[in-house]
Amino acid sequence: MSEVQQHIKLSVGPLLFGWPETKVNDLYLGLAGNPDVDILYLGEVVCSKRMIAGIDPIVRLADELKNCGKEIVLSTLAMPCGEHELQAIRDLISAAGERHLAIEANDMSAVSIASEAGVAFVAGPHLNVYTPYALQRLSTLGAMRVVPPMELPPQDIPSIVNNRGQVLNGAPPYSVSDSCAIQDLTPVIEVEYFAHGKLPLTFSARCYTARARGMSKRTCHHTCFMDPDGIEMRSLDHEGFTTINGIQIMSHRPFTVLDHVQELRQLGVGVLRISPQHEHMTDIIHRFRAVADGMQDGREALISLGGDSPLQQQFCNGYYHGQQGRVWIE
């Protein structure tokens, strides 16, 4: 890798599926010794009912990882629906502040609480940051990094953040052409792109997984723990459609940009996020590191990762190309 090239960091995002606590600990404690990973996100984003023992296991795991040489970030719920869930967010942010950790804010209540507490935060993908004005506002509240929304093509990133990963400073929103000409830049925001994993798309107040098994969200008995990668949904024509994951709808196949890492670097992306899945995490991380460091061609790495099946049956990348997200585009 050329010395003038930006070093791209790799992050492992918050676990989006329902796993037992021991399995969650095994995942992240195993990653603690992986030299290819720079950032670890811990916490429950999807459903507070998965936090059977509250935030204590998350905080204990953060404490165990504090000396592993990686940046630790605590992630918050994306759709808090009651005072008890807001209190869990307050408690998590308080714990982060006591340990000098940042949080990933996935809704505006977390932004407000973190800002008032003086805790730095990552603007998570569910905040839906589409304009430089919105990003500048978040930066004044304490944002240090932004994860663009899932459906935003990375080619639009320079219209929000300039290609050195800096916030466009100034007044109202700019057009794409105008924003790239702005000279007054504030170097405070890093860009993190969701690079691999099933895409978290929508949330509901009701639980799809519980309903699929004849139960309600209130009496779900943590049925989502039975599906470590969610439940595959198919159309009446037996075509793969989506994945249901508790109250969340996800893409049917994993999204990946393993063959576009160098393009993302040129667009100002500084961190690539890999979302945890049940199998092959070490291999996925290793291949992203090799491609990011220029040790392996992205297309070659992707074909190796996909195995014998055609890529269009293994992955999706439509959002990267500004198309419908579920498709694979060569």
pLDDT in tens, the chain (330 residues): 344 457 899 999 999 999 999 999 999 999 999 999 999 999 999 999 999 999 999 999 999 999 999 999 999 999 999 999 999 999 999 999 999 999 999 999 999 999 999 999 999 999 999 999 899 999 999 999 999 999 999 999 988 886 445 554 444 433 334 433 333 444 468 999 999 999 999 999 899 999 999 999 889 989 999 999 999 998 888 888 899 999 999 999 999 999 999 999 999 999 999 999 999 999 999 999 999 999 999 999 999 998 878 888 899 999 999 999 999 998
User: For the packed helices 281-292 and 21-31, what is the interaxial angle rounded to 10 degrees?
Assistant: 30
CA-CA-CA-CA torsion for 117, 91, 192, 305, nearest 10 degrees? 170
Contacts of residue 192, Cβ cutoff 8 Å, sequence gap at least 6: 11, 122, 145, 146, 147, 269, 270, 271, 272, 273
Is residue 196 within 8 Å of residue 261, measured between CB atoms? no
Residue 11 pLDDT: 98
3-state secondary structure labels for all residues of 140-184: HHCEEEECCCCCCCHHHHHHCECCCCCEECCCCCCCHHHHCCCCC
Query: Which is nearest to 78 in space by CA: 193, 203, 215, 173?
Result: 203
Q: What is the pTM of this model?
A: 0.90
Compute the distance between CA of residue 321 and CA of residue 330 in angstroms, rounded to an integer: 10
Q: Helix or strand or coil: residue 84?
A: helix
Beta strands in 179-319 (DSSP E): 185-186, 190-197, 200-203, 231-234, 240-245, 248-251, 255-256, 271-274
- pLDDT, residue 245, reads 95
Q: What residue ranges do the domains of the chain occupy?
A: 9-198+250-297
Q: Exposed, middle or buried, 59 (CB in 10 Å: 0-12/13-18/19+)?
A: buried
Q: Phi, psi (5° rounding) for residue 298?
A: -60, -45
Q: Specify the pLDDT at position 1.
A: 39
> In CATH, what is the architecture of 9-198+250-297?
Alpha-Beta Barrel (3.20)
At 166 the pLDDT is: 55
Q: Quick one: pLDDT at residue 161?
A: 83
